[in-house]
Structure 1
Amino acid sequence: MEIKTNHERAMNPDESRLKLPFIKFWGLVRWSLIRHKYLLPAFTIIQAAFALAIVYGLALLIPEINESAAIYLSSGSISLGIIAVGCVLAPQIANTSKQDGLFAYQRTLPVGRSAILLADIIIWCIASLPGVFMGCLAAILRFDITLTITPLSIAIILIAQITMICIGFAIAYLLPPNAMALATQLIMIGGLLFSPITYPMDRLPEWTTYIHQYLPFVPTTDLLRSTLFNFGTFSFVDLFVIIIWAIVGFIVSLITLSRRE
C-alpha cells in the first residue's frame, strides 16, 4: 500500500483542496445521522401508523370506495406523510436543537452554512422515506392499486421532500418556540381537514382554490397523484410553485443560520 509523505502531500495542493470540502460535508452528514439515529426508528413507526390510519381509517368514513376515492386516499397518505416529517417533525427537532445550544454551535463550525442545511436535508429525506414506502404499500394492499415507478415520479417525491423540509427549517429557525409549535399544528390540521389532499378540490368553496394553488401542499399532492398513480394531468405550474417554496424556505433558513447575534 502506498503511503504519501508530508512532502508528497504538499506537492499536490490542488487535490487536497478538492477533497477537503467533500470530507467536511461527509462529516456533517455523518454527524447529523448520529444525532438522529435514535429518532429514525421512531419516525418509521409513526409514519407507518400514519399511513395505515389514512388508508384504512379514513376509508371507513366513505361508504363506497371507488377507484377515484382510493387514489385520493392513497396519494394523500403519501403526501401527508411527507408534510408531517418535513413541516412538523423536522422543525420540532430543529427547535429543540436551538434550545439545547446546538444551533449556536453550528454557527461556529468552519464550514459553509449551506453545507449544514444540505446535510440536514439529506438526513430528513432519508427519515421521510419509510412514510413514502408505507403509503405505497398500504395503497397496494388495501386497494390493489398499481403504482407507476418512473424517474419522474421518483424526482417528484424527492422534490416534495426537499420542499417540505426547507419550509420546516424556515419555520424552526425563524419563529420562536411557541409560534413554531402553532405554525406546525396549523399546517397539519389544515392539511388533514381543510386541504383537498385526500378528497377532490370541488368539495370546497370555489374561493379556496385560489389559496390552495399558491400553497405548496395541494400542488405537491397533485404532482404525486399524476406521476405515481397516473391520475390527472402533470402541471408545470404546480412544479414551479413547489420549487419556489423550496427555494424561499432554503434562503430563509440560510439567512437565519448565517445571521450573527
Structure 2
Amino acid sequence: MLKLCVSLLIGAASTAVFAQAYPTKPVRIVVPFAPGGGVDLTARILAQRLTEGLKQTFVVENRTGASGIIGTEAVVKSAPDGYTLLAGSQTTQAVVPAIYKDQVRYDTTRDLVPVAEIARAPFLIVVHPSLPVKSVADLIKLAKEKPGQVRFGAASGGTPHMAGELFKLAAKVDLQFVPYKGEGPAISDAMGGHISLVFSNLPVGLPLARDGKLRGIAVTSAQRVPTAPEFPTVSESGLPGFDAFSWFGLFAPSATPREIIVKLNAEAVRGLNAPDTKEKMAAQGMFTTTASVEEFG
C-alpha cells in the first residue's frame, strides 16, 4: 500500500513538473479545413498569441478532407501530451459527427477535451457582383424564379452549409448546394462566378465585400454587427427571427494532463483579452470569448 501511494505521488509530481515546463518544443494546431476559412483565421491569431505568451512556436497545420474528419481524427489519435491540438468549431464537434455517423470513428465528447473558446462570428451572405441581387429580398426572388439554379458553396456539413440550409427552409426556396473542402475554395469560386453565393464567415467575406470583389447583402446574426453596420440582418430583411453564427475553439486529446489544459486556457484568455487582439477580431466582424475550461466545456 505504501509503495502504491509513493508511486502515485511520484506520478502526480512528474505530471506537475512536465506541465510546468510545457511547452519545450513546437506545438501543432491542426486546422481540419483549407486555409482562408474562419477556423483557419482564428487559429492563426491564437497561435501567434500563444507563441508570444508561452515563448514557444505554435504552428498551424491544415489537414483537409472529408468535411474535417481527417484532421480531427489525426488529433484524436495523437499523443495526449499537449503538442498536437485541434482548432475546431461546432462543425467539427457536433455537425459532422451527426451527419456522417458511418464515417466518423471517434466521439468528440469522449475523445477530445475543450481547451479554450476563441471567438464567435456571424455569417455574411456574399454574392458575385454580376448577380442581380442586392438584398435578401432580391435573393429570394431570384431563387424562386430559378429554382435549383442559384448555387451556394461551403464545406459539406459545415456551419456555413447549415446556415444555407436554414436559409432555404426559412425562405422556402430551392438553392443548390455545391460541396467544397473549405471556405477558401468556395470563396474563390464565388469570386470567379462559378457559384452564386457563399454564407461566409464574416472575417473572410467582409474584406472582400468592402473591396468590391463580392457583394455583401446581409449578416445572419440577430443584430447588426457594430463593425459592419452597413449590412442589414437577414431577420430585418424579411425573415424574422433568423439567427446563425459560428464559434471557434481549441481542443486537445482527452487524456492530455489537466495542468496543461489549464495552462493553455489561461494563456489563451490572456492573449484574447489583449486590446489589439480584440480590435483585430472586431475589425473582421468577430468578438472574442474568454471562457474558462469549465465554461467552454
Q: TM-score range by the shorter chain?
A: under 0.3
TM (norm. structure 2) is 0.22
- From the two aligned structures, give the one with the greater helix fraction: 1
TM (norm. structure 1) is 0.24
- From the two aligned structures, give the one with the greater strand fraction: 2
